[in-house]
A and B are shown apart, each in its own frame.
Chain A
């Protein structure tokens, strides 16, 4: 049963990552710097919302099969059973969300947005590749579908890191500023959450691959990794920045204001 509990928490962790980064990217819709890129980032947001749905749906399925053993919330507010993708997304509060901090920090400018996506999607590509070997075939199937999208996210965001890093003086300065601002949130990517117990997972290997790829792109773009910085962590266990509360207040508003309604 501990295994099931762990798998559910891990699925929620992945789903929350996808939902929150999807939310942040969707904030650009209608406000992008170039029409084609507005379409691209909206499409990326849409991919992430799709991934979040697959993951929440599977988590909901497992929760509903094991209702007697699973504590749904920490805040004591009941989510009624059976749970759904929507009750998991819309009725949990900040401390129950398990997303990485890097997904919830504000978009900043185009440099910060594309850099964040590059660092995150590169990590997700490695992680989801390991999940192809997950013992739960449903998780492996979701990983397989997601990898197709994430590979595009990596390519799209990597191109922007190169373009901005090696574009104009201003774009280089902005990209370097973005690195300096976000770097402290990258260490958390490689801290294996205690519920991430699946046998296929190897976070040390993810970190090694990630370091190699990120360093190579930074070098090509003439960008510098900051000297040792403090690692901001806690998202995966519910310790968030203040930003997440505002994201949820906005996202969950209708479900909270009009409870028990169909939409």
Chain B
């Protein structure tokens, strides 16, 4: 019986029919999606912090308004994604719990510090750019609620990426100090951005199954190569450089060759030893713990009002 269900399920996936929350699905598919969607939601929420760090210091009122709107968008993305994950039978509170205890991960990129205004540009250009590469294929992912959430997320992300590039473009036309600021930010964020695509294909244990289920459509290395190819050209428009002496166009492959990623650093950050892992998680735990009385009060008030309404009816 189970085998029949599994066959029908895979058949639907193969025919590009979306899987919906009430459809039968293999338990492992459900768990994989919960892990991936919640990790994605957590990344949006933790991702508010490094950029939130510059809202009060944005250098003009226009930049301040744009940055506020952008960070608010990220909160909104977190909201859709938590809702999508909830359709799989987990609550938002359970997901928070997993984040706060370290059981659930989030994108390691947000464990790096934002040291200058140029970081706001680079996060938009490189970090959101890498996220878009990862996320555009997810608009066609096999699980319906996730795919639909991603359509909206991707629209907003492409606006974020453009505004990031524009910040850098203005800096590139600015003073010597501004150009130095921008190049320094690119130097710090380039390698961590490449790491956003995850481990190399031969070290990515979940890839094959996820591709069969059409949760994932391209491998980590394929997407990473595409990202390098795009950025190597865009950086020329800015008149800056990417910090990789091995970066070189390879005529034969039709791609840029690039240097070896420091995988030791990648795994260190994943394991919690990045420069800001503790600060990021502490900030979220603090918001959650200090907000407990607010949530309790809201619930108590809603219950009171519901009772009063009942009594009046």
Contacts and interface: CB of A to CB of B under 8 A. Distances in A.
A23 B64 CA distance: 10
A132 B92 CA distance: 44
A27 B56 CA distance: 7
B59 A26 contact: no
B170 A35 contact: no
A42 B65 contact: no
Contact of A26 (B55, B291, B294): B55
A174 B293 CA distance: 10
A50 interface: yes
A171 B61 contact: no
Contact of B49 (A30, A46, A85, A170): A30
Given A29-B68, A35-B78, A170 B52 contact: no
Interface in A231-263: 247, 250-251, 253-255, 258, 261-263
A35 B60 contact: no
Contacts of B92: 35
Contacts, number: 138
A29 to B, nearest CB: 5
A50 B56 CA distance: 15
A38 B294 contact: no
A34 B291 contact: yes
Nearest to B304: A166
A228 B177 CA distance: 55
A30 B283 contact: yes
B241 interface: no
A35 B300 CA distance: 18
Contacts of B291: 32-34, 110
A19 B49 CA distance: 22
B57 A89 contact: no
B68 A89 contact: no
* Main DSSP-derived SS at the A contact region: helix
Contact of A29 (B52, B60, B61): B52
Contact of A263 (B63, B69, B286, B294): B63
Contact size class for B? 35 or more
B65 A53 contact: yes
A35 B75 contact: yes
A164 interface: yes
A33 B72 contact: no
Contacts of B178: 258, 261
Interface in B43-74: 45, 48-49, 52, 55-65, 68-69, 71-72
B304 A38 contact: no
Contacts of B56: 23, 26-27, 247, 250-251
Interface in B243-299: 283, 286-288, 290-298
A148 interface: no
Contacts of B79: 35-36, 39
Nearest to A251: B56
A35 B55 contact: no
B178 to A, nearest CB: 6
A46 B64 CA distance: 9
B114 to A, nearest CB: 12
B61 A86 contact: yes
Interface in A160-195: 162-164, 166-168, 170-171, 174
Contact of A49 (B49, B68, B78, B286): B68
Given A29-B71, A56-B61, A163-B297, A262 B52 contact: no
A138 to B, nearest CB: 18
Interface in A12-29: 19, 23, 26-27, 29
Nearest to B55: A26
B146 interface: no
A52 interface: yes
B177 to A, nearest CB: 6
Contacts of A53: 61-62, 65
27 contacts: A23-B56, A27-B56, A29-B48, A29-B71, A32-B287, A33-B294, A34-B294, A35-B79, A39-B72, A43-B72, A46-B68, A53-B61, A90-B60, A163-B298, A166-B301, A167-B296, A167-B297, A170-B293, A171-B293, A251-B56, A254-B57, A255-B59, A258-B178, A261-B59, A261-B174, A263-B59, A263-B174
Interface of B: 45, 48-49, 52, 55-65, 68-69, 71-72, 75-76, 78-79, 82, 92, 117, 167, 170, 173-175, 177-178, 283, 286-288, 290-298, 300-301, 304
Q: Top 9 closest A-B pairs, CB basis?
A: A33-B291, A167-B297, A171-B297, A254-B59, A30-B48, A30-B52, A263-B59, A33-B294, A163-B301
